[in-house]
Amino acid sequence: MGRYFKFKHEDEIRATCKQLGTTIEFQKDLRPLFERMRIGSYRVGNRLCIQPMEGCDGTLDGAPDVLTFRRYQRFGAGGAKLIWFEATAVVPEGRANPRQLLLNEDNAPAFEKLVHTCRRAHRDTFGSDDDLIVGLQLTHSGRYSYPIALLAYHDPLLDPLTIADQHTRRPVDIHTPLVTDEYLYSLVDQYIAAAKWAWKIGFQFVDIKQCHRYLLSELLSARARRGPFGGDLENRTRLARMIITGIRSEVPELMLASRINVYDGVPYRACDAGSAKEKTGSPVPHVIPVTSAFGTDEREPAKPDLAEPLQWISQMISLGVALINVTMGNPYVSPHLVRPFDYPPPDGYAPPEHPLLGVDRHMRLTEAVQRAFPHVAVVGSGYSYLQDYLFAAAAFNIATGRVSLVGVGRGALPQPDFVRQLLDKGCLDRKRICRTFSYCTALMRSKHNNLGQFPTGCPPFDKEVYGPIWAEACKGTHDETGNGGRKTV
């Protein structure tokens, strides 16, 4: 695989973007990034957001641990005015790994301390946190729950790629049971309970997570499920709608948000021999029409179809959702759609397209949502691949109304103080810019330690903490897919 990102000057990346036919543009004036805005009843001090990223570093009971506190202290001091805390399960069986966070009565005091740590770091650095908004992403991992997969329906494309039981490594088959309607109904009260705790301990909003093919995201495509949670769009959005209306009724002061897949696409798999770097991704075999992918053209699944996503977002807004975070794809089977990269993780594949096309897809679909709902705060994703040029593109998109706020995900791991860098120097510290090496993803996939999950971070540019963790992970001979040799990342 050739390395795509070789740009030394803005003119070079501009020329490539034009040659590829993308809509990506850049501007030198970064002032749009620091404009204030209102989201619901809150004032936000700038247009920069920390995206929700799992650290896989909680306790086995689901409480934040030492590295969790370190991460959010650094984010708080970094200067972004919208901090979107990571995916946190509402029930124990809905966790994606044994160290994922879980919000309940027992863990609430630790979460409250975490919020206070983040806000105090912001006050200590900037003098005030009056224009800082912090929110928590609430989730149920569904198909990707640990250790038992909890399926909403049998997806002919994802089932062959899903492990039903992580302990026995038993794959999903037609006999793997689906979650019952009664179970889905019961989750409404669990989401409401978590939202009540979130508000009580200091979060200003909660995100009803509907992305990356976790449970609520999978239900969006559950045309093949029978009963009240499958079939037409009204049924497929029933659980999320009940959760949203329930929280609005029980915790009216709490702002609501949703990070949502507007395009699922189809799964990809490596199609060539050799290392992950040499295995180009290719769509898995599929039958037309593809009916198990939300926001996807059934006849040409490489193309998005935003008809249903826009319809559902419109309804969510009417129900009181004030903040939309646009994303797409599935990190387990189509990571190039979620986060464009040059370097794949060991269990991945080389990008099947120029990563700038992936960035452009994020920008185009996010713009479509923002243009459809110009008075709603919309957060854009997929920017980190742009590296040195991330904020020049972000400033253009905000200035031209393509998006309200720009989210920074993995790019914030090595440089959580990116806002301070921009304010002080007008550019990033080049020695700490995320180069999309995928070390963070490789650590997320690493399970071979006594806690069943390695914490994730940036070993190349946060070496003091994550260098030793990476070295320990490299001692393993196999990852969860049977691939070894993590040093090939």
Q: What is the pLDDT of residues 400-412, one digit of tens each?
A: 999 999 999 999 9
Instruction: Please check whether residue 362 is in contact with residue 326, taking contact to mean a CB–CB distance below 8 angstroms.
Output: yes
| Reported pTM | 0.95
Residue range 225-231: mean pLDDT, rounded: 98
Per-residue pLDDT tens digits for 356-365: 999 999 999 9
pLDDT of residue 486 exceeding 90? no
- Tokens encoding 417: 């103080």
Nearest to 136 by CA among 209, 73, 31: 209
Tell me whether the omega of the peptide bond preceding residue 147 falls within 30 degrees of 0, making it cis: yes
Supply the pLDDT for residue 345: 82
Tell me the C-alpha to C-alpha distance, in Å, between residue 80 and each of 53, 167, 440.
Answer: 15, 40, 21
Distance CA 417, CA 73 (A): 11
Residue that is written with structure tokens 């040499």 in the block: 278
Distance CA 176, CA 174 (A): 6
Residue range 106-128: mean pLDDT, rounded: 98
Instruction: Please check whether residue 55 is in contact with residue 72, taking contact to mean a CB–CB distance below 8 angstroms.
Output: no
Supply the pLDDT for residue 299: 98
Q: How far out from the chain centre does Cα 34 lie?
A: 23
Per-residue pLDDT tens digits for 3-31: 899 999 999 999 999 999 999 999 999 99
Residue range 230-240: mean pLDDT, rounded: 98
Q: With respect to CATH, is domain 10-434 assigned 3.40.50.150? A: no
φ/ψ (deg, to 5) at 118: -65, -50
Supply the pLDDT for residue 274: 60
pLDDT of residue 483 exceeding 60? no
pLDDT of residue 215 exceeding 90? yes
**DSSP-assigned beta bridge partners for residue 298:** none
CB environment 190-201: b (16+ within 10 A), e (fewer): bbbbbbbbbbeb
Per-residue pLDDT tens digits for 241-296: 999 999 999 999 999 999 999 999 999 999 865 655 668 999 999 999 999 999 99
pLDDT of residue 50 exceeding 70? yes
Amino acid residing at 147: P
- Tokens encoding 101: 């966070």
Supply the pLDDT for residue 271: 83
Q: Helix axis angle, 66-78 relative to 108-126, nearest 10°?
A: 30
Per-residue pLDDT tens digits for 77-99: 999 999 999 999 999 999 999 99
Residue range 454-471: mean pLDDT, rounded: 96
Average pLDDT, the chain: 94
> HEC states along the chain?
CCCCCCCCCHHHHHHHHHHHCCCCCCCCCCHHHHCCEEECCEEECCCEEECCCCCCCCCCCCCCCHHHHHHHHHHHHHCCCEEEEEEEECCHHHCCCCCCEECCCCCHHHHHHHHHHHHHHHHHHHCCCCCCEEEEEEECCHHHCCCECCECCCCCCCHHHCEEECCCCEECCCCCCECCHHHHHHHHHHHHHHHHHHHHCCCCEEEECECCCCHHHHHHCCCCCCCCCCCCHHHHCHHHHHHHHHHHHHCCCCEEEEEEECCCCCCEEECCCCCHHHCEEEECCCCCCCCCCCCECCCCCCCECCHHHHHHHHHHHHCCEEEEEEECCCCCCCHHHHCCCCCCCCCCCECCCCHHHHHHHHHHHHHHHHHHCCCCEEEECCCHHHHHHHHHHHHHHHHCCCCCEEEECHHHCCCCCHHHHHHHHCCCCHHHCCCCCCHHHHHHCCCCCCCCCCCCCCCCCCHHHHHHHHHHHHCCCCCCCCCCCHHHC
Percent of the chain scoring above 70 in pLDDT: 95
Instruction: Please check whether residue 7 is in contact with residue 17, taking contact to mean a CB–CB distance below 8 angstroms.
Output: no
pLDDT of residue 197 exceeding 80? yes
Distance CA 77, CA 246 (A): 34
Per-residue pLDDT tens digits for 306-343: 999 999 999 999 999 999 999 999 999 999 999 999 99
Supply the pLDDT for residue 272: 66
Supply the pLDDT for residue 276: 57
Confidence of residue 478 (pLDDT cuts 50, 70, 90): very low
Supply the pLDDT for residue 2: 57
Nearest to 457 by CA among 151, 87, 57: 57
Instruction: Please check whether residue 279 is in contact with residue 221, taking contact to mean a CB–CB distance below 8 angstroms.
Output: no
End-to-end Cα separation, the chain, in angstroms: 13
